[in-house]
């Protein structure tokens, strides 16, 4: 296996995995820089879980290679250096919440304070509750705590906020941001695009086992984007007159009634903003809730992977 670059914590090269003759991971390649958060995105069945399980050493690839902190995924020396948060399970059903966390912490040379983790993730009130009696959200938060208590250099988080309430989601986000500040590399899979936008330094979008886009959130949302200007006003303004007052290449539509969208071929600049407000003033139309927008990561994701439902 060729060693990864010194600044790369995880490198995947030409990864292939097939089941029953069908490639669910098809020549997949990407890398994750030390101390950054990478969001691995994709619709159901895109190959994300299989890819992550190969990186964790739980599955073997049919072709390609994976370097985790410069080593093969199944190298025993990686165990204290890598944290894994599965979607379900990962704890002994009969152990109490705090007991389970302290047990895992005892295996680490320099663990985080278990009591502090319990407090940060809102688990102190259920510290003496057996794992099997915790709610789904509480089990999810304990799984996150178990993944990070050993101070790993690299941690895999699989849907860390699935099913959590808003308060627990924000607590989880704050913990991930703290991990990044401490230099921990995080590989995050999520279906929550706002979560990826907030947390990720880099994004890899996978579909049908292949990388269909990669880059920072800013790079993905700005590539091929049009500037959008939205406002509310009285219904049925004359859009032909509005377009005549705008720079060439702009479009305008009303949908739904009384809500208007102006799209520019590039970024919305002060001249376009002034042209819209001046036209509204000339036509005695109040432009309420005037705001400038760009494509969201969700817009990009749907453009890349389609809008049809996946099973």
- Look over the chain and give the mean of its residue pLDDT values, rounded to a whole number: 91
Please indicate whether residue 82 or residue 225 has the higher confidence score (pLDDT).
82
The ranges of the chain annotated as CATH 3.40.50.300 are 8-221
Residue 60 CA to its chain's centroid (Å): 25
**Over 3-68, what HEC string results?**
CCCCCEEEEEEEEEEEECCEEEEEEEEEEEECCCEEEEECCCCCCHHHHHHHHCCCCCCCEEEEEE
Mean pLDDT of 67-76: 97
The ranges of the chain annotated as CATH 3.30.70 are 226-293
Looking at residue 261, its pLDDT comes to 87
Give yes or no for a contact between 137 and 168, defined as CB atoms under 8 angstroms apart.
yes
Looking at residue 3, its pLDDT comes to 57
Looking at residue 5, its pLDDT comes to 67
- Read off the DSSP letter of residue 201: S
Q: What is the pTM of this model?
A: 0.81
Q: Could you confirm whether domain 226-293 is CATH 3.30.70?
A: yes
Please tell me the least confidently modeled range out of 142-146, 209-213, 299-303: 299-303
pLDDT for 23-46, tens place per residue?
A: 999 999 999 999 999 999 999 889
pLDDT for 148-166, tens place per residue?
A: 999 999 999 999 998 899 9
- Read off the DSSP letter of residue 2: P
Given pLDDT bands bounded at 50, 70 and 90, which one contains residue 309?
Answer: low
Mean pLDDT of 110-117: 96
Looking at residue 1, its pLDDT comes to 54
Given pLDDT bands bounded at 50, 70 and 90, which one contains residue 244?
Answer: very high
**CATH class of the region 8-221:** alpha beta
């Amino acid at each position: 296996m060729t060693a990864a670059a010194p600044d790369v914590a995880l490198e995947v090269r030409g990864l292939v995995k097939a089941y029953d003759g069908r490639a669910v991971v098809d020549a997949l390649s990407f890398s994750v820089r030390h101390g950054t958060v990478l969001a691995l995105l994709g619709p159901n069945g895109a190959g994300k879980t299989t890819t992550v399980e190969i990186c964790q050493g739980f599955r073997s690839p049919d072709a390609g290679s994976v370097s985790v902190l410069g080593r093969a995924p199944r190298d025993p020396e990686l165990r204290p250096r890598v944290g894994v948060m599965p979607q379900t399970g990962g704890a002994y059903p009969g152990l109490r919440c705090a007991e389970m966390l302290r047990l895992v912490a005892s295996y680490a040379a320099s663990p985080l304070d278990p009591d502090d983790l319990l407090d940060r993730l809102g688990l102190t009130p259920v510290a003496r509750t057996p794992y099997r009696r915790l709610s789904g959200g509480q089990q999810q938060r304990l799984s996150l705590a178990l993944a990070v208590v050993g101070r790993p250099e690299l941690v895999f988080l699989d849907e860390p906020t699935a099913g959590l309430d808003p308060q627990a989601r924000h607590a989880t986000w704050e913990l991930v941001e703290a991990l990044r500040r401490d230099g921990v590399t995080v590989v995050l899979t999520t279906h929550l695009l706002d979560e990826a936008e907030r947390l990720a330094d880099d994004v890899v979008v996978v579909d049908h086992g292949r990388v269909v886009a990669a880059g920072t959130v800013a790079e993905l949302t700005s590539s091929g984007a049009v500037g959008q200007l939205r406002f509310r006003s009285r219904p049925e303004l004359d859009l032909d007159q509005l377009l005549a007052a705008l720079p060439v290449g702009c479009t305008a539509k009303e949908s739904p009634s009384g809500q208007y969208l102006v799209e520019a071929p590039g970024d919305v600049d002060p001249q376009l903003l002034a042209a819209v407000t001046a036209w509204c003033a000339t036509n005695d139309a109040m432009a309420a809730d005037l705001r400038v927008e760009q494509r969201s990561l969700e817009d990009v994701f749907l453009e890349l992977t389609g809008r049809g439902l996946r099973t």
